[in-house]
Structure 1
């Protein structure tokens, strides 16, 4: 898709496009309203500005659009609209040893119980072992610290998805 096409599609079509990058409804609606974008840099700046002005409820809504890291079967089932991008983003997990996947599954469950949302990390370019180290390093954070870290990771994911989109 080109920037010109994104600027000219209907609001409903634009909603679906932006939703594939980040499914927080408030972010998506504000991105649709910000059109037209003069260039991709402006689009990225607006995306980040809007994201940074949302609250934790919006962050949680965005996190809902992700499968758990390492839960590759979920990609095909629950997250059909983002499974292609999420699957590519998590490609490092597909090469993981069984013991790494098992540790990740256990830590994912502990993380979810502790924070009330799944572990969010910009997984692109990271190996399974690196992601395992990251969840281990973050699981003892305070809930406030962790939602801020996860929100920054979501912003990175959204940026990459917007870049791939155009």
Structure 2
């Protein structure tokens, strides 16, 4: 899902706590977690937060105890909000582009379909596409991993291992945990506490 109108900066936490509408909170959460309405509703109802780190801590609590707070479908909606690794650039947020190995220059001109990912090639793209499909066929939701600056080619053996050696419940837990790690990394990159 394209996020061309998504903000690339966060409003102050004071604004989120005192003036933000549900849509304002959704915009902030989308920047950190991708569009995830079940998370937004929960976070909106739990305000105020001392910081964005505290907001992510609350999300971590929600996702660690997910069965207490979200239906099975809401859990899948949260996981599936994340883009596929190797997804088309037009469908990625600026932060997702950089996380998936595109240069900041490519991210800035993400509408240019001719830009190529750094440290990647067509074989890697084709392999990721195939593995994404295998993973989704097996588990019923998208593969989520905290890339943490690794080239996409390094993620291939991670995907293969998780397809061969994991369970649906383990994968849900891993996806939700990694979403929190991704959000913490994004917050750090945005230089917000």
TM-score (norm 2): 0.72
Equivalent position to 1:8, from 11, 18, 35:
18
Deviations 1:52-77 (A, max 9, x none): 22234333111222221012x2x424
1:119 maps onto 2:143 in alignment? yes
- Quick one: which of 60, 64, 76 aligns to 1:48? 60
Check conservation: 1:44, 1:162, Cα contact below 8 A.
no
> 1:94 maps to what in 2?
117
Change (3 A) 1:148 1:106: same
Correspondent of 1:133 among 157, 165, 179 = 157
Residue 146 of structure 1 is matched in structure 2 by 171
Partner Cα separation in structure 2 for residue 162 and residue 25 of structure 1? 19
Provide, for residues 72-93 of structure 1, a one-character-per-residue CA deviation record: whole Å limited to 9, x for no partner. Answer: x2x424x5xxx11211221269
Cα distance, 1:40 vs structure 2? 4.0
Aligned length: 160
User: Is 2:30 the partner of 1:19?
Assistant: yes
- Structure 2, unmatched stretches of 5+, are 1-10, 103-115
- RMSD of aligned alpha carbons: 2.3
Check conservation: 1:70, 1:94, Cα contact below 8 A.
Answer: no
More helix by share: 1
Identify the residue that residue 110 of structure 2 maps to in structure 1.
none
Residue pair 2:25, 2:44 contacting (<8 A) in 1 also? yes
CA distance in 2, matches of 1:18, 1:112: 25
3-state SS, counterpart of residue 134 of structure 2? helix
1:89–1:123 CA contact under 8 A, matched in 2: yes
Q: 2:79 aligns with which of 32, 48, 63?
A: 63
Relative to structure 1, is the Cα distance of residues 64 and 165 closer, same or farther in structure 2, using a 3 angstrom cutoff?
Answer: farther
* Alignment match, 1:31: 43
Q: What's the CA shift for 1:29?
A: 1.0
Q: 2:185 aligns with which of 146, 150, 160?
A: 160
Judge conservation of contact 1:66–1:86 (CA < 8 Å) in 2: no
